[in-house]
Amino acid sequence: MKLLSRIGKTVLAASHARGERTIAFRSEDELRALQSWRLRATVRHAWEHVPYYREWMREAGAQPGDLHSADDLRRMPLVDKLTLTLHPDQFAADGYEHRDGLTLLSSGTSGRRRRFRYDSDALFQALAAGRRQRIALAHFVGKETGYREAVFKRQGGTGDELRRFWEDRMIIPGRMELTRRLFDPALAFEALLAGVNEFGPEVLRGIGSHLGAFLRWVAETSRRIEKPKAVTYGADAMPQADRRIIEEHLGIPVVSTYQAIEALRIGFQCEARQGFHISTDQVAVRVVDSAGGDVAPGGRGELILSNLTNRAMVVINYRLGDLVTLAARPCSCGRTLPLIQNIDGRLDDLIALPDGTRLHALAILPSLQSVDGVQQVQVVQEELDKFRLRVVWARRFEPRPGELVQRMTAVLGASTRVSVEPVEMIDQEPSGKVKSVLCALGRC
| Domain definitions of the chain by residue range | 350-439
pTM of the predicted structure, to 2 decimals: 0.85
Residue 6 has pLDDT above 90, yes or no: no
Matching CATH number, 350-439, of 3.20.20.80, 3.40.50.300, 3.20.20.140, 3.30.300.30 = 3.30.300.30
pLDDT confidence of residue 375: 87
Task: Report pLDDT digits (tens) over 268-282.
Answer: 999 999 999 999 999
pLDDT confidence of residue 108: 55
Torsion of CA 114, 233, 125, 115, to 10 degrees: -10
Residue 138 has pLDDT above 70, yes or no: yes
User: Where residue 432 falls among pLDDT bands split at 50, 70, 90?
Assistant: low
Range name among 60-74, 316-330, 340-354 with the lowest pLDDT average: 340-354
Higher pLDDT, 165 or 235: 165
Mean pLDDT of the chain: 89
pLDDT-above-70 percentage for the chain: 95
pLDDT confidence of residue 430: 60
| Rounded average pLDDT over 228-245 | 90
Task: Report pLDDT digits (tens) over 401-429.
Answer: 999 999 999 999 999 999 999 998 887 76
Residue 176 has pLDDT above 90, yes or no: no
> If 0-12 CB within 10 Å is exposed, 13-18 middle and 19+ buried, where does residue 91 land?
buried
| Rounded average pLDDT over 181-208 | 93
Nearest to 255 by CA among 241, 242, 243, 263: 243
| Rounded average pLDDT over 49-63 | 93
Task: Report pLDDT digits (tens) over 305-345.
Answer: 999 999 999 999 999 989 999 999 999 999 999 999 999 88
pLDDT confidence of residue 204: 97
| Rounded average pLDDT over 139-151 | 93
